[in-house]
Amino acid sequence: MRIIEYSCKDSRDNWSFDKISFNGLNLLVGASATGKTRLLNTISNLALFITGARKSAATVWSIIFEAEGCRYQWDLATDDKTDIAGKVIKEKLIRTAGGKRKVIIDRTSEKFVFDGKELPKLSATESGVFLLKEESLIKPVFNEFQFILRRNFWSDELKSLENYHMSDQKIEKGLDQEDTLEKLFKMKVGLSYQLWLLKKFLPEKFIRITEYFKNVFPSIEAVSFEDLTKLLPNIAALKEIPAFCIKEAGNNKLIPLHELSSGMQKVLMVITDLLTLPKGAIYMLDEYENSLGINAIDFLPELLNENDLENQIFITSHHPYLINKIPVENWIVFHRKAAKVSVMQGKELARKFEKSRQQAFLQLINEPFYKEGIE
Amino acid sequence: MNLYLVVEGAVVEVEAYKKWLTYVRPEMTLVSHISEIKDNNFSIISGYGYPQYYEVIKTAIEDVNRQGNIDRLLFIVDTESLTVAEKDREIRENVDIASCRADFRVVFQHFCIETWALANRRITPRQPQNQDLIEFRRAFDVLHEDPEELPDFPRRGWNRVKFAFRYLKLLLQERARLNYSKSNPEAILTEDYFNEIYARFKDTSHIRSFATFLDAVSTP
């Protein structure tokens, strides 16, 4: 899936995002508190609402996206300012394919029309896409919204990735088929087990990830998997618990994933994420650079450029190196007046910035729209 | 006439020259980027401090040469602990001024922009009540002595730049209940404030470095 255009308004706190056009790679920049993270929250919340994982209230979305060769326009509104489970008061899903336009869902509080036919009353607190996910017209849309991965680092993201798993036949069954990446994506297992599964079922991916990881941290001589019960004698298990370990130059001790520095963990996680995204998946990375040294930051633009990733990616950053290395065309600059967020598209800035040889980041921080980020 | 300004600071100088320049040259209009300079325009870029601004000024010379419609390039810097002559020497060692096809002018804020702001005689109370202000004034009276002569303030471990900043901040707070900071220089941006600095320059032999600004923005 690729999001082409997006706007959103949340009436509970009056925040609104004017229409934003997205590229394949999107670098969200702006002064602190201009709404970058909040934008990602609204997209995540939409995906969670659509997939039935969460209710919605008092929010209006308008989104245009492409999936499997079709273009969809979806307008969705939920009511109720106080309740976390508002009712859908408007939902319109239109598909355009091969120049033909088809209204798939046309719904109000009173009436629910699907593919031209009026339906009996259905749950008002669920999106039509969730309710009708088994229908062939809807299935592709529902599926696409399950492939959004959001990473942030203010929660226990890294802690949860440290979780180890016993090797499990049930999990591994079926992973040797074509859709291994899709299955792994949905599993959301700990990083160590994910890498172990990759080594077993997609060894080329595993080698690419670990080679990249070693390039970022040249002190790493080798990587391997050890049984955690042997590394930590106080742990007992019925089966092997594969623990991803590194061995550094001049030190014979194997260091398991949970003992790696948070910088190494973050880098390994982001490399693994980016190199194992299923086709069409969307990836969101929020202020990745926090508390990282430059060696753990500068690999990211290289990875994004070198691998010519086909997925849509959203990154928020304040880091000059990262910002300078990503083409201005891919920037989205945020500005907030009270609760209304507007953006300046990178293409607009690029026309101006290309006329000066000053570094792009320097021009950005001198740009009034950025500098006076909050009015 | 078109001007391009490379200033040292990120906020104070950018905001100050946006306003001050139009008080001297009301016919000039600010534009947000060098590429938007057309006719009677000026644009400001921050060099984000020493020594980063030397890279910015070198690139600014390239931009000015390529663009071709800029009459003067102003490089606005604090002298800090140096004399004007020493700062001038440092700039000539770091910047190939002759390569600039526009008229290259250095504006020396001797020794920082707060030094000029301290020259406003209306912000200095005749009988200060604040103990800190009494102490500052005992060390140096900016009302009667040249603010450019302000010394370090070793009792608090401040060099003269820091002393000038703290002195100005306290004066504005005491006299007008105005908050002055590096991120909020609003208090010194008004035309009245600018006129007071100009009057001090005209009426006395103080803040001589202010002439480098007036000369740099004067008509050819």
Question: Contact B35/A365, CB-based, under 8 Å?
Answer: no
Q: What is the mean pLDDT of the segment spanning B197-211?
A: 98
Separation in Å, CA A138 to CA A109, A143, B143: 20, 9, 77
**Dihedral class, residue A30 (left if φ above 0, else alpha if ψ from -120 to 50, else beta):** left
Q: Which residues in B lie closer than 8 A to residue A359 (C-beta atoms)?
A: 59
In angstroms, the Cα distances linking A9 to A41, A73, A129, A333 are: 12, 17, 20, 19
Judge: B59–A357 Cβ closer than 8 Å, yes or no: yes
List the structure tokens of A367. 């740009």
Per-residue confidence (pLDDT) for residue A308, from 0 to 100:
66
Q: Are B59 and A367 within 8 A, CB to CB?
A: no
**CA A104 remoteness from chain centre:** 27
Residues with Cβ within 8 Å of A187's Cβ and at least 6 positions away in sequence, in order, are A171, A194
A367 touches chain B (CB under 8 A): yes
The Cα A222–Cα A210 span in angstroms is 9
Which of A328, A355, A358, A369 to mutate against chain B (most B CBs within 10 Å)? A358
Q: Among A356, A361, A370, pick the best mutation site for testing chain B contact (most B Cβ within 10 A).
A: A356
Reported confidence tier of residue A117, pLDDT bands at 50, 70, 90: very high
Q: Compare CB distances from A366 to B45, B59, B67 and report the shortest one's residue.
A: B45
Indicate the residue of A352, A358, A367 with minimum beta-carbon distance to B56: A358
Chain A residues within an 8 Å CB radius of B5? none
Task: Calculate mean pLDDT across residues B4-29.
Answer: 96
Test the A interface: residue of B4, B6, B15, B34 with most A CBs within 10 Å? B34
Of B10, B46, B63, Cβ closest to residue A357: B63
pLDDT digits (tens, 9 = 90+) for B26-63: 999 999 999 999 999 999 999 999 999 999 999 999 99
Chain A residue with minimal CA distance to B31?
A368
Contacts of B35 in chain A (CB under 8 A): 352, 355-356
- pLDDT tens digits for range A259-286: 999 899 999 999 999 999 999 999 999 9
Task: Look at residue A331 and give its three-state secondary structure.
Answer: strand
Decide the pairing of beta strands A340-345 and A15-21: parallel
* Residue A109: pLDDT band with limits 50, 70, 90: very high
Q: Band of the pLDDT at A235, cuts 50, 70, 90?
A: confident
Phi, psi of B5 (to 5 degrees): -115, 125
Tell me: the pLDDT tens digits for A15-65? 999 999 999 999 999 998 999 999 999 999 999 999 988 888 889 999 999
Q: Does residue B117 surpass a pLDDT of 90?
A: yes
What's the gap in Å between the CA of B131 and the closest CA on chain A? 37
How close A355 gets to chain B, by Cα (Å)?
6
> How close B216 gets to chain A, by Cα (Å)?
22
Model confidence pLDDT, tens digit, residues A59-91: 999 999 999 899 999 999 999 777 678 899 999
In this prediction the ipTM stands at 0.86
Give the predicted TM-score (pTM) of the model.
0.89
- Inform me whether the pLDDT recorded for A165 exceeds 90: no
Judge whether residue A327 has pLDDT over 90. yes
Using a CB-CB cut-off of 8 Å, the residues of chain A touching B32 are 367-368
User: Closest residue of A to B10, CA-based?
Assistant: A366
Mean per-residue pLDDT over chain B, rounded: 96
List the alpha helices (DSSP H) in B25-82: 52-67
Q: In chain A, positions 206-265, which contact chain B (CB-CB < 8 Å)?
A: none
Average pLDDT, chain A: 91
User: Chain A: residue nearest B15 by CA?
Assistant: A368
pLDDT for the residue numbered A372: 84
Q: CB distance from A362 to chain B under 8 Å?
A: yes
Q: Which of residues 259-318 of A touch B (CB under 8 A)?
A: none
**B56/A367 CB distance under 8 A:** no
CA–CA gap between residue B166 and residue B154 (Å, rounded): 13
Element (H, E) at A262: helix A262-275
Question: pLDDT category, A307, cuts 50, 70, 90?
Answer: low
Query: Distance between CA atoms of A77 and A62, rounded to whole angstroms?
Result: 9
With H, G, I as helix, E, B as strand and everything else as coil, classify residue B66: helix
Cβ pairs bridging A and B (under 8 Å): 39
User: Which tens digits make up the pLDDT trace of A202-212?
Assistant: 999 999 999 99
Sign of the alpha-carbon torsion through A172, A175, A180, A183: negative
Asked if A374 reaches chain B (Cβ–Cβ under 8 Å), the answer is no
Q: Do B48 and A368 touch (CB under 8 A)?
A: no
pLDDT, one tens digit per residue, over B70-88 is 999 999 999 999 999 999 9
Asked if A33 is an interface residue toward chain B (Cβ–Cβ < 8 A), one would say: no
The amino acid at A367: E
Side-chain half-sphere CA neighbours of B210 within 13 A: 29
CB-closest option in A355, A358, A366 to B59:
A358
Is the CB of A360 inside 8 Å of chain B's CB atoms? no
The whole-angstrom separation of Cα B84 and Cα B108 is 7
Judge whether A151 and A169 are in contact, CB under 8 Å. no
For residue A135 the two structure tokens come to 């229908």
CB contact (8 A) between residue A362 and residue B48: yes
Cα A54 from Cα B108, distance rounded (Å): 61
User: According to the model, what pLDDT value does residue A306 have?
Assistant: 67
In this structure, of A12-16, A245-249, B16-20, B25-29, the range with the lowest mean pLDDT score is A12-16
